[in-house]
A and B are shown apart, each in its own frame.
Chain A
Amino acid sequence: MCLASLPSDRTLPFEVERTKKAANPTRKNNSYLLGEKSWQREFCCPSASCLLRLLALRPCPSSFACTTMQQNLLRLRNKAPRKRKASQPEADLAEDGSEPCSIPFVVGSDCCQVLDVASTLAHAGATGQNFVMVPLFHERLRRSDVQRGNGLITRSEMELPHEDWVGHVVGKFSRWIDMDSSSSLVRQRAEVAFMDEYAYAAHLGLQAIVFAPHGCLGANSLRNLKLALTRFSATSPQIWLSLAFSEHGSPWPEWDKARQSLSHDRRLGVVLDLTATSLPNLDSTPTISAWAAEPLKAIVIPTSLFRQNRTGSALVVGNKSDRSLLQWFTHRGVHVALRGAATQQSDVKEMIRALSSMHAKSLPLSSPQALQREFNSKYRDVLQSPLDPLCVNLDSETYQVMEEDPVKYELYAEALHAAMRDIRTQADSSATTSSVLRVLVVGPGRGPLIAATLQRFRALRKQLQLPSSQWKLQVVAVEKNRNAVITLRNRFADFLAKGVVQIIAGDMREVLARRGTSREGDGALHEKVDIIVSELLGSWGDNEASPECLAAVQPWLQPHGVMIPQQYCSFLAPIAASKLWMDAREMFWGARGSAAGKEGLDCPYVVQMESFAPIASPQPVFQVRLVRQFTSLFFLLHALYL
């Protein structure tokens, strides 16, 4: 079913405000439902993919809602039988193409003049492009107020079905618009045309319209840009500033000026025009890396960049340095627009094939890094609130995600192994061999550290060729989350029966304070332990209150005992990250009244950062050293001595 066949009294849900109406008749179980059944059917057409892309571009009530809506849409799309009209442009090269890429790769063309928008789009679709950038009005038509009243000033919107305007067309402002001209007549005319064209783009429902300033952006251009974004609703088209790399270098300062003057508006994006000079070198940091932090939407490259390969059988993209530059952009989801002459359709096809193979080549698909990347891609640039594990019990899903890390638990197991071996060696040499090794696991969750302790102890005992009677293990675990305790009691039932594992339900700070008053079997700890192992670190080291927790636990450590971890230190580095900043700013916008005036920019977040550029190296902030009481004086003296 095609979107164009929707009943006329319904507006299409392509803008978030409208999407909210359609998608949010009910908000149940923290998930946005996609309206009625009939709506769901509409979403299942191939154009739903443009919608997904659109949602990613548009401002949203909250990033959470946006993500959930996207997930629902994806689910719907996956259910739907895929049918594609022959005349429709290939919507998703990256998703449907032969290259399985986790990062979408979107390519299109930047057209200077378009006579027939329908045939231009059909041609683009036939060559595998996803979008076209076209002027909305004829370049030579410099309308005045008189002309606005009568006559045709541009083509009819009926030339394309609505979903094509929305999904595949990026508009362009007329290039003659110079709102900073010294002539007041030119300026006035430009202002009128600018507002007209933006209004028309909003009418068509375009995702974005490109504005290429004449030289430097002056105060009057900035004023009018701001005016357009203010007059129209928050779901009006984005304005992408087209800025050129020139012999003077990166246009970043120009972009910074615009972004600041426009109050960091989310609808402002940037298109980098790389056609004026030869492509800049990727290594010339920070020229390029600075763009990682910016809402860079597309790059424009010349078709002259493509050349025949050595055998003349296929086209390749520029030289090696050009390719690595373009890969740097495409990996960040930046769209690529081709500009310039391409005589034949097959040429364009070849160019796109060259680009997509270049993009795919640099993605190692089976390596651990790729798996990690795949895992991270779900969370890319999504702000999350840090966990509050002392107050809120973690749920099963969170535990599962945390346990999936292949590296962390291996490191813990190695540390346990080394510590157990050292304790045994030390005990052997001092001839005070205790036959029992006591390990205290604080906050074991669903038990990965208990399992690691049991397994590594067995391995070590075998390695040292000790009979089980000579060296026994006793594990005590203190877990606050009662739901996780159920899992622990099931998982280690055999060990519990044998008395190898003891599980105490309760907050470690309370349980371990019951020292002295405790009796056997009362769910308290009775003897000091050789190893205390915990995984209480947050993203920023001590941000989940691990020092407070471990201070309560520490008196239970034997004089020769080992704390794992031994010490940790948090670090901070200054960064540029406009998207993250804008998301943080809007964090409590929707719920300002109810959230007791919480300020989104005053909260720390946890986020898999992709869109950022570091400014300086990280520096240490707070260090926590978990040392035994009797040695701490030594540490103090040592520090003074240093």
Chain B
Amino acid sequence: MTIAFSVCAVIDRTTQFEHPADQPADGFNQQQHLSFEVSHRTVLHGFAGYFKCILYKHITMSTVPADHSEGMFSWFPAFLPIRQPVTLSEGQQIVLGVWRCSQPRKMWYEWSCAIHGEAEALTVQYFPVQNLDGHSYSVNL
């Protein structure tokens, strides 16, 4: 299993080293921006969420379809819908921003996507940030 370490936002104890102890919760607030190439005409309804995990050294488990641990059914994928389905054509890019936010008593995700045209600078469509401030969904801490 390979996890592309370089492109990941890293949450670990290092973060806590760098931040003063009076704002420990920020250690787990992260954001990530991803860009997906569209290879064929299709429609976007949302995003499927998976995970990979290194239990110990070479012993791993994964729900990512390409290397799903065979026969493991504890976890179903996650689904993050977008506000309005959008038709995409070949060559366009889906640009997604994801935020992991937390307050002392709750944690939530926000996401927002934009569709870029074939030319880099041309943005076809923007969507507002979803679940802003944990309005519709949050996990209690």
Contacts and interface: CB of A to CB of B under 8 A. Distances in A.
Interface of A: 252-253, 256, 260, 264, 286, 290, 293, 368-369, 372, 375-376, 379, 383-384, 386, 388, 390-391, 402, 404-408, 411-412, 414-416, 418-419, 537-545, 547-548, 551, 554, 562, 564-578, 580-581, 584-585, 598-609, 612-629, 632-633, 635-636, 639, 642
Nearest to B99: A622
A411 B30 CA distance: 29
B139 A386 contact: yes
Nearest 9 interchain pairs by C-beta: A391-B140, A623-B8, A541-B51, A602-B136, A415-B55, A540-B49, A415-B56, A407-B72, A568-B53
Nearest to B134: A602
A543 B56 contact: no
Contacts of A633: 14, 17
Given A408-B61, A567-B54, A636 B45 contact: no
Interface in B6-65: 6-14, 16-17, 24-25, 27-28, 30, 32, 34, 36-57, 59-61, 63-65
Interface residues of B, number: 83
Nearest to A603: B137
Nearest to A257: B87
A412 B80 contact: no
16 contacts: A415-B59, A545-B139, A548-B28, A569-B51, A571-B51, A572-B47, A572-B48, A574-B36, A577-B45, A580-B79, A581-B81, A581-B85, A604-B137, A621-B8, A623-B5, A635-B12
Given A541-B53, A580-B46, 10 more contacts: A537-B75, A540-B49, A545-B139, A545-B141, A566-B54, A569-B51, A600-B81, A600-B136, A602-B83, A607-B79
A333 B77 CA distance: 21
Of B28, B37, B51, B137, the most chain A CB neighbours within 10 A belong to: B51
Contact of A601 (B12, B49, B60, B82): B82
Contact of B51 (A386, A537, A625): A537
B50 to A, nearest CB: 4
A576 to B, nearest CB: 5
A234 B17 CA distance: 57
Interface of B: 3-14, 16-17, 24-25, 27-28, 30, 32, 34, 36-57, 59-61, 63-66, 69-83, 85, 87-88, 94, 96, 98, 100, 102, 107, 109, 130-131, 135-137, 139-141
B55 A565 contact: yes
A95 B28 CA distance: 50
A539 B53 contact: no
Contact of A264 (B63, B82, B85, B107): B85
Contacts of B38: 615-616
Contact of A411 (B6, B32, B59): B59
Contacts of B41: 252-253
B71 A372 contact: yes
B16 A575 contact: no
B55 A412 contact: yes
B44 A609 contact: no
